[in-house]
């Protein structure tokens, strides 16, 4: 099949380029408006899981998480607000164990408990015990007390100034740190607390304070969830027991030179959604304690400083490059190139993550897919346009079956003949030569066209394929290129319809009536396109063609409107109305048993 003219092809290419530009604008607009955010989030989560599962990253700082679990809370006789004694023991334990720093993700009271005394120990005052431990520990390690944000009054909830002074340990730095965590719009925590959610004038986030780094100004930085294994918190009750028992060796083994995070590991409280599980005891849970997210943030800040996003401009540029496979001339090559680009995007995401960048393949992949779909649609549209062009151009020159076969590629010049079983019909006008001499050529031309139009309608109505017009004669094939279970039956039905059409034609045309003769035979032939490089023609070749032509000639001698071989009649199911003509000699074939239809007057 030849392509469209160059101008049309150029117009098609220009239209395709315009469509690609529109797709590019659409994807960029969707990204800028945040419509692609769910896809970016899914990409980040998938990369996080893949990088943790299939790669290994050494963690520069592995914190020790100490958790207050449900068993500890259930065993207490006093409310958590009065856990000063246990907290005092905890800070003593860290001091004895030689911890380097501690971050407390438990909010200390904002009011004094001096008026409260223990009945069994009247000399004990809650504040004094905790203050002593804080002051002693603060001189040997960095202590950061967590502060939470109160949306109503829009402030960080204050902590008793005595505790802050004791935790300072004589240092200039503030011991107050923000425990604010900033989930994305879908409720999943993926990024470090930046300026978008952390009040600018508030205390430094807890993970930043413990890592000893300044909070970044603006911009998004992701938490590297691929760092380290799921965390196994040390039970708060166990640490308290070691402190009470004076087990210094165990305390030093657990905390010496380490950064410690204290928080709750409760089943239903202080839980946030993570892209992947962080608690070793809950390997499938995405709802994780907040203190574990602080620990993962600390891992991230100490190891790489956070996952930085690849600039949108670079993603857009890669998206433009990703559309290039759609411009390849062959669709198969475009498909392979598109798969290669998708693989490159996946590998690029892994490489970027290992380099500290989050490369979201959403924009390039979406542009690639849309360009590929557009290419497929354009190719389909172009092929359909060419099919319509061929149909409009050649439907008057070949039969619909032949045209469809040519368009579908079932009849091609470079194919060898195909052996098929068909029925062949020949029809010819009786005395046409005499009629042509008696009438002007233009009148004969008009009459012949009108007659052939009627014949064509009758033939096509019975699935016949007109092989060729031979002057006033017609050669018709049944059973190819469209296969038929009973081509002989269709040929005989078409022959009778042609005879009826001639009778109607004579009623509407003045002058001498037309008379035709029809011959039909069936058998195996070779079918296909034959000719030279300059011109090809669909046709069938074989004995069945020659016999059908000879039978049409015998209609004059046998005075029958239609003469068919007995083989064709039997193949058609022995339809009524045919009479046996006996065995007759057929030129070039020998004797054949014949059947006749419609005796000529």
- Boundaries of domain holding 350: 6-38+310-390
Do 322 and 381 share a domain, yes or no? yes
**Which CATH number characterizes residue 517's domain?**
3.30.70.1230
Do 169 and 241 share a domain, yes or no? yes
**Which residues fall within 8 angstroms of residue 11, CB to CB, at 6 or more apart?**
none
**Residue 395 placed within a domain:** no
The reply to whether the predicted model has a pTM over 0.85 is no
Task: Decide if pLDDT at 482 tops 50.
Answer: yes
Do 27 and 127 share a domain, yes or no? no
Q: Give the pLDDT score at 91.
A: 94
Do 338 and 462 share a domain, yes or no? no
- Residue whose entry in the numeric block shows the structure tokens 């109160």: 150
**pLDDT-above-90 percentage for the chain:** 40
487 neighbors 422 (Cβ within 8 angstroms): yes
Average pLDDT over residues 59-78: 89
Task: Decide if pLDDT at 123 tops 50.
Answer: no
Residue 476: phi, psi to the nearest 5? -125, 140
Nearest one of 485, 449, 451, 482 to 464, comparing CA atoms: 482
Do 280 and 140 share a domain, yes or no? yes
Do 364 and 501 share a domain, yes or no? no
**Residue 472 placed within a domain:** yes
Label residue 284 by pLDDT band (50, 70, 90): very high
Q: What is the pLDDT of residues 208-264, one digit of tens each?
A: 999 988 776 667 889 999 888 899 999 999 999 999 999 999 999 999 999 999 999
**Residue 298 placed within a domain:** yes
Nearest one of 120, 122, 47, 127 to 82, comparing CA atoms: 127
Between 320 and 57, the more confident residue is 320
Do 280 and 337 share a domain, yes or no? no
- Centre a 10 Å sphere on the Cβ of residue 445 and count the other Cβ atoms it contains: 12
Do 93 and 222 share a domain, yes or no? yes
**Residue 580 placed within a domain:** yes
Report helix, strand or coil for 184: coil
Do 475 and 344 share a domain, yes or no? no
List b or e across 293-307, with b for residues whose CB sees 16 or more CB atoms inside 10 angstroms. bbbbbbbbbbbbebb
Of the three residues 333, 363, 390, the one that is the final residue of a domain is 390
Of the three residues 338, 372, 390, the one that is the final residue of a domain is 390
Q: What is the dihedral of CA 373, 379, 382, 387, to 10 degrees?
A: -120
Q: What is the pLDDT of residues 162-209, one digit of tens each?
A: 888 888 877 778 899 999 898 999 999 999 887 667 676 778 899 999
Average pLDDT over residues 340-349: 83
CA distances from 239 to 86, 105, 167, 448 (A): 10, 16, 20, 111
β-strands 101-104, 142-147 pairing: parallel
Nearest one of 19, 28, 347, 37 to 339, comparing CA atoms: 347
**Residue 47 placed within a domain:** no
Q: What is the pLDDT of residues 562-588, one digit of tens each?
A: 999 999 999 999 999 999 999 998 887
The DSSP string of 255-322 is HTT-EEEEEEE-SSSSEEE-SS--BTT-TT--EEEHHHHHHHHHHHHHHTS-BEEPPHHHHHHHHHHH
DSSP letter at 514?
Answer: P
- Rounded Cα distance between 584 and 464, Å, is 27
Q: What angle do CA 531, 534, 537 make, to 5 degrees?
A: 35
Q: What is the pLDDT of residues 300-312, one digit of tens each?
A: 999 888 889 888 8
Between 537 and 177, the more confident residue is 177
Nearest one of 469, 468, 428 to 553, comparing CA atoms: 428
Do 376 and 463 share a domain, yes or no? no
**Residue 104 placed within a domain:** yes
**Residue 95 placed within a domain:** yes
Average pLDDT over residues 354-360: 86
**Residue 51 placed within a domain:** no
Do 315 and 214 share a domain, yes or no? no
Do 381 and 406 share a domain, yes or no? no
Q: Give the pLDDT score at 294.
A: 95
Q: What is the pLDDT of residues 12-66, one digit of tens each?
A: 667 777 777 888 888 888 887 888 889 989 999 998 998 888 766 678 889 999 9
Of the three residues 369, 390, 411, the one that is the final residue of a domain is 390
**Which residues fall within 8 angstroms of residue 266, CB to CB, at 6 or more apart?**
68, 69, 70, 73, 289
- Which alpha helices (DSSP H) does 107-218 contain, by range? 126-138, 161-168, 206-211
The DSSP string of 517-539 is EEEEEEEEEEEEEEE-SS-EEEE
Please tell me the total count of domains within the chain. 3
What does pLDDT average to over the chain? 84
């Amino acid at each position: 099949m030849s392509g469209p003219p160059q101008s049309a092809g150029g117009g098609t290419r220009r239209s395709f380029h315009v469509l690609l530009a529109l797709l590019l604008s659409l994807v960029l607009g969707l990204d800028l408006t945040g419509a692609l955010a769910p896809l970016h989030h899914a990409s980040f989560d998938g990369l996080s899981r893949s990088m943790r599962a299939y790669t290994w990253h050494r963690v520069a700082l592995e914190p020790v998480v100490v958790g207050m679990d449900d068993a500890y809370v259930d065993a207490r006789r006093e409310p958590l607000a009065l856990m000063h004694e246990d907290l005092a023991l905890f800070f003593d334990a860290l001091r004895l164990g030689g911890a380097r720093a501690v971050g407390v993700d438990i909010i200390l009271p904002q009011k004094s408990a001096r008026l409260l005394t223990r009945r069994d120990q009247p000399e004990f005052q809650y504040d004094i015990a905790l203050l002593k431990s804080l002051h002693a520990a603060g001189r040997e390690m960095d202590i950061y007390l967590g502060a939470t944000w109160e949306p109503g009054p829009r402030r960080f909830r204050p902590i008793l100034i005595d505790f802050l002074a004791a935790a300072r340990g004589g240092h200039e730095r503030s011991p107050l740190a923000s425990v604010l965590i900033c989930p994305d719009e879908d409720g999943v925590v993926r990024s470090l607390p930046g300026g978008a959610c952390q009040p600018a004038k508030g205390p430094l986030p807890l993970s930043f304070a413990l890592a000893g780094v300044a909070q970044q100004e603006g911009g998004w930085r992701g938490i590297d969830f691929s760092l380290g294994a799921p965390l196994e918190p040390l039970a708060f009750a166990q640490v308290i027991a070691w402190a009470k028992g004076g087990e210094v060796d165990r305390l030093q083994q657990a905390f010496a030179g380490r950064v410690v995070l204290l928080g709750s590991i409760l089943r239903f409280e202080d839980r946030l959604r993570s892209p992947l599980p962080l608690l070793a005891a809950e390997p499938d849970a995405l709802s994780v304690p907040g203190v574990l997210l602080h620990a993962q943030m600390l891992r991230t800040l100490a190891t790489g400083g956070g996952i930085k996003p690849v600039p949108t401009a670079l993603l857009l540029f890669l998206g433009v490059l990703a559309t290039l496979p759609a411009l390849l001339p062959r669709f198969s090559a475009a498909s392979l190139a598109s798969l290669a680009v998708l693989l490159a995007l996946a590998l690029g995401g892994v490489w970027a993550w290992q380099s500290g960048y989050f490369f979201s393949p959403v924009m390039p992949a979406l542009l690639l897919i849309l360009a590929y779909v557009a290419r497929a649609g354009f190719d389909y549209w172009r092929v359909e346009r060419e099919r319509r062009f061929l149909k409009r151009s050649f439907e008057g020159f070949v039969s619909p079956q032949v045209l469809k076969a040519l368009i579908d590629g079932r009849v091609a010049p470079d194919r060898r003949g195909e052996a098929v079983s068909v029925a062949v019909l020949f029809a010819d006008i009786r005395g046409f030569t005499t009629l042509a001499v008696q009438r002007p050529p233009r009148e004969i031309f008009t009459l012949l066209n009108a007659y052939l139009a009627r014949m064509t309608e009758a033939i096509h109505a019975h699935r016949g394929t007109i092989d060729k017009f031979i002057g006033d004669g017609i050669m018709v094939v049944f059973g190819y290129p469209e296969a038929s279970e009973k081509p002989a039956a269709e040929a005989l039905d078409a022959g009778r319809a042609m005879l009826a059409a001639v009778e109607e034609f004579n009623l509407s045309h003045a002058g001498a009536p037309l008379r035709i003769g029809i011959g039909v035979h069936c058998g195996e032939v070779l079918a296909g396109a034959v000719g030279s490089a300059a011109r090809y023609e669909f046709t069938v070749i074989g004995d069945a063609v020659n016999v059908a032509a000879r039978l049409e000639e015998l209609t004059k001698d046998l005075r029958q409107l239609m003469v068919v071989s007995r083989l064709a009649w039997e193949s058609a199911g022995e339809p009524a109305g045919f009479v046996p003509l006996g065995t007759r000699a057929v030129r070039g074939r020998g004797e054949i048993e014949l059947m006749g239809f419609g005796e000529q007057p």
